[in-house]
Amino acid sequence: MTDNGKNEQTAKKYEKYVKKVTPTHSLPLNMAKAFLVGGLICVLGQYILNTAETMGLGQEEAGSWCSLILIFLSVLLTGLNVYPKLAKFAGAGTLVPITGFANSVAAPAIEYQKEGQVFGIGCKIFTIAGPVILYGVLSSWILGVVYYVMQLWR
């Protein structure tokens, strides 16, 4: 009766069957939760932006303060073990905002402190943030090259 999975067709068939019998979270409900929490985080961001601007800061500076404060709050909530609980509820609502990025930096830093300053915290702090920074820098560089070439053309 064993099929060692070499037969791709049976593997596909089994996968399809498993998908059928495996319960999943309700997508609309999950989306609503993500919408709510993600939206609220953005509102908080907007509040910081507006406050910064009424204090006479420029748009760019206000944006920096906004990131800074949101990241601080996220790291704090991660350390206090609140962020993972919030994320369990909100899913992408806490993953997508910049606070999700901060969580992905703080969580491994806290977890891997036992493995040392350099190869524990130092390496693992980039486990998730590293790829985000790498591909962000790389994709903006590639697009920048296109922009640069187009500027030469003109």
Region 8-37 residues binding another protein, contact defined as CB under 8 A: 8, 10-12, 14-15, 17-18, 21-25, 27, 30-37
Member of 58, 111, 116, 119 binding another protein (CB under 8 A): 111
Rounded to a whole number of angstroms, the minimum distance from the CB of residue 106 to another protein is 4
Rounded distance between C-alpha atoms, residue 66 and residue 39, angstroms: 15
Of the two residues 21 and 56, which places its CB atom closer to another protein in the complex?
21
Identity at 6, one-letter amino acid code? K
Rounded distance between C-alpha atoms, residue 36 and residue 67, angstroms: 20
Please tell me whether residue 118 binds another protein under the rule CB under 8 A: no
Rounded to a whole number of angstroms, the minimum distance from the CB of residue 98 to another protein is 6
Among 144, 126, 143, CA closest to 134 = 126
CA distances (Å), 126 to each of 61, 63, 111, 152, in order? 26, 24, 13, 36
Of the two residues 25 and 56, which places its CB atom closer to another protein in the complex?
25
Please tell me whether residue 106 binds another protein under the rule CB under 8 A: yes
Dihedral, CA of residue 118, residue 106, residue 96 and residue 61, to nearest 10: -90
Member of 55, 72, 116, 119 binding another protein (CB under 8 A): 72
Of the two residues 55 and 133, which places its CB atom closer to another protein in the complex?
133
Member of 51, 57, 92, 123 binding another protein (CB under 8 A): 92
For 23, the token pair is 């319960």
